[in-house]
Amino acid sequence: MEVKVGKKIFNGIAIGKIKFYAKAENKVVRTKISDTDAEYARYEAARDKAIEQLNMLYEKALIEVGEANAEIFNVHVMLLEDDDYNESVQNIITTQWVNAEYATAATGDNFAEMFANMDDEYFRARSADIKDITERVVTILCGGTENNDMGDEPVIIVAEDLAPSETVQLDKSKLLAFVTRLGSANSHTAILARTMGIPALVGVEIDEEWNGKAGIVDGYEGKFLVDPDMDTLEGYFKKKAHDDEQKKLLQELKGKENITKNGQKINLYANIGSPNDLISVMENDAGGIGLFRSEFLYLESTTYPTEEEQFEAYKKVVETMGGKKVIIRTLDIGADKQIEYFELDKEDNPALGYRAIRICLTRPDIFRTQLRALFRASAYGNLAIMYPMIISVKEVRQIKEISKSVREELKAEGIEVGNVEEGIMIETPAAAVMSDELAKEVDFFSIGTNDLTQYTLAIDRQNAKLDSFYDAHHPAVLRLIQMVTENAHKAGIWSGICGELGADTELTETFLKMGLDELSVSPGCILPVRKVVREVE
């Protein structure tokens, strides 16, 4: 038995025969041609056929993995229709008098290299897409077909790498898992694996000798076991049976209401940090997004993200969620989330320092840019905004003034703005104590129990040494949650929890009793919390 380790892409256990996925090999030979127009026409015909295939793949993916994931094939079509790409192929054919296969492969190499060297992570990731579309056109020009035959029995696909188009073409009914040597955890292929719910590992050292042998993919531990002995196999059969049972039970809760036995309902929303997390939001049947930590946009960037970049990200999330509520939290940096280009001073007590709304209120340029992007995106769905680290009514009034002026500015420019709920996070004891006054100013409260606990108990949430003093269920925190919720309801607004405590199923019943209207948890916790809600009398 051999045991290899890799990066986990999706949880789960698969046991079955290993199949090596061999790509159709295209050997491109550079040959001289005499009729450049005819050669370019050959290229155009192959390109059009590739576009036709991609459109079909889009339709297939739309059914199997949803619109957001199918979108990659539209991107591929756009890349094939790109003038620069096509002009490069034409240029190589006409200036060098060479065949279309060579001109396409050379263009693909040049463009892929150019994208790979770009600063922007999004564009760097497009390098793989360029290779994929180029390979598709070259295969057509070479008269080849794609290797798509998986045989009769379900298999674990092992490959050097898998392009998104290859992943989607794999026959899902025969695909147990996949393991690749290349590929990153955030590649489209990995995203597709998550959406398909297939155990997957990347970054695994692979060996062609394994073809046909038995294998076990352990997506929980990030292990790939080849040719397992009987004891290991037996142990994994048991693990898999237990795993399947748990997953099946939770799956049955999809589409069901979050309702207690006596009819009390609660909204279960998801916390996300990036548009990439939308897949698990869908997969886990979230009723909306209760916390989109917008700082990811800033953390991933080497400079301040522009209004346009932010607008595109927010629009994508609200559009994907259809009419469901998407609560986007404005920038919350400082403390443990440091960003070099903000040039924040070193502080003795960063958790009590210059962070979140304090930065936004003293740097209105940054705040206004984000608000403009948010209000613009609000025209495309059900967007709500919430403000972090609030301690006073004065701050909220200041925020409201800025927010009003941004909305007026957009309207004066003729830009449509949706109906936006504006709420605050209750993360400080000050906000909790003042929640009766604050409730008169805003549309909702979302209790950030991670910080509320840290500030109430005076325990640094980053300091593992204090774990023995830390009590997530401390009555002081629970009393504050109750008080905040009562004050919200007195003022006629709703109250939810978006900190980690919201997913603590030991407290679900308590939260229901307190009358909380919403719990926003990481996507994978939605169904387990729903299960408990439905069991409460």
**Distance in Å, CB of 332 to Mg ion, minimum:** 6
Residues belonging to the active site? 188, 498
Which listed residue (423, 499, 523, 528) binds ligand PEP by CB under 6 A?
499
Residue 393 class from Cβ within 10 Å (0-12 exposed, 13-18 middle, 19+ buried)? middle
- Taking CB under 6 A as the binding criterion, the range among 33-41, 190-198, 219-227, 444-452 that sits at the site for ligand PEP is 444-452
293 binds, among ligand PEP, Mg ion, none (CB under 5 to 8 A by kind): ligand PEP
**Distance in Å, CB of 220 to Mg ion, minimum:** 29
Count of residues in contact with Mg ion, rule CB under 5 A: 3
Kindly report the length of the chain: 537
Name all contacts of 291-295 with Cβ < 8 Å and 24+ positions apart: 291/327, 291/329, 291/386, 291/446, 291/498, 291/520, 292/317, 292/326, 292/327, 292/328, 292/329, 293/329, 293/332, 294/328, 294/329, 294/330, 294/331, 294/332, 294/370, 295/331, 295/332, 295/333, 295/337
Structure tokens at 333: 């940096």
- Taking CB under 6 A as the binding criterion, the range among 147-155, 445-453, 472-480, 523-531 that sits at the site for ligand PEP is 445-453
| 448 near ligand PEP (CB under 6 A) | yes
Kindly identify the residues of this chain, within the stretch 328-347, that bind ligand PEP according to CB under 6 A: 332
Which residues does the annotation place in the binding site for phosphoenolpyruvate? 293, 329, 450-451, 461
55 binds, among ligand PEP, Mg ion, none (CB under 5 to 8 A by kind): none
Which residues does the annotation place in the binding site for Mg(2+)? 427, 451
Task: Give the CA diameter of the chain.
Answer: 84
**Distance in Å, CB of 440 to ligand PEP, minimum:** 23
Which listed residue (61, 357, 498, 507) binds ligand PEP by CB under 6 A?
498
Q: Are 120 and 108 in contact (CB under 8 A)?
A: no
| 449 near ligand PEP (CB under 6 A) | yes
Cβ closer to ligand PEP: 213 or 337? 337
Cβ closer to ligand PEP: 194 or 293? 293
**Those residues with Cβ within 8 angstroms of residue 151's Cβ, 6 or more apart along the chain or in another chain:** 19, 174
- Taking CB under 6 A as the binding criterion, the range among 14-22, 109-117, 118-126, 449-457 that sits at the site for ligand PEP is 449-457
Q: Are 173 and 150 in contact (CB under 8 A)?
A: no
Binding-residue pattern over the window 266 to 305 for ligand PEP, x denoting contact by CB under 6 A: -------------------------x-x------------
Q: Are strands 13-20 and 7-10 parallel, antiparallel or unpaired?
A: unpaired
| 226 near ligand PEP (CB under 6 A) | no
- Taking CB under 6 A as the binding criterion, the range among 34-42, 138-146, 185-193, 442-450 that sits at the site for ligand PEP is 442-450
| 450 near ligand PEP (CB under 6 A) | yes
Structure tokens at 519: 């719990």
Q: Using CA atoms, how far apart are residues 148 and 160, in angstroms rounded to an integer?
A: 15
**Distance in Å, CB of 332 to ligand PEP, minimum:** 6
| 96 near ligand PEP (CB under 6 A) | no
**Distance in Å, CB of 367 to Mg ion, minimum:** 18
Q: Using CA atoms, how far apart are residues 481 and 422, in angstroms rounded to an integer?
A: 20
Classify 183 in phi/psi space as left (phi over 0), alpha (psi -120 to 50) or beta.
left
Coil vs helix vs strand at 344: coil
Cβ closer to ligand PEP: 154 or 499? 499
499 binds, among Mg ion, ligand PEP, none (CB under 5 to 8 A by kind): ligand PEP
449 binds, among Mg ion, ligand PEP, none (CB under 5 to 8 A by kind): ligand PEP
Cβ closer to Mg ion: 219 or 448? 448
Binding-residue pattern over the window 328 to 357 for Mg ion, x denoting contact by CB under 5 A: ------------------------------
Q: Are 150 and 175 in contact (CB under 8 A)?
A: yes
Kindly identify the residues of this chain, within the stretch 449-478, that bind Mg ion according to CB under 5 A: 451
Structure tokens at 421: 């709920």
Cβ closer to Mg ion: 150 or 498? 498
Going through 362-517 in order, the beta strands assigned E by DSSP cover: 382-387, 421-426, 444-447, 494-497
DSSP symbols for 245-282: HHHHHHHTTTT---B-TTS-B-EEEEEESSGGGHHHHH
DSSP symbols for 458-487: T--TT-GGGGGG--TT-HHHHHHHHHHHHH
Which residues does the annotation place in the binding site? 293, 329, 427, 450-451, 461
- Taking CB under 6 A as the binding criterion, the range among 45-53, 308-316, 317-325, 446-454 that sits at the site for ligand PEP is 446-454
What is the distance of C-alpha 450 from the center of its chain? 22
Kindly identify the residues of this chain, within the stretch 414-443, that bind Mg ion according to CB under 5 A: 427
Q: Using CA atoms, how far apart are residues 301 and 294, in angstroms rounded to an integer?
A: 12
Structure tokens at 463: 């300091």
Residues interacting with Mg ion, by CB under 5 A? 427, 448, 451
Residues interacting with ligand PEP, by CB under 6 A? 291, 293, 332, 427, 448-451, 498-499
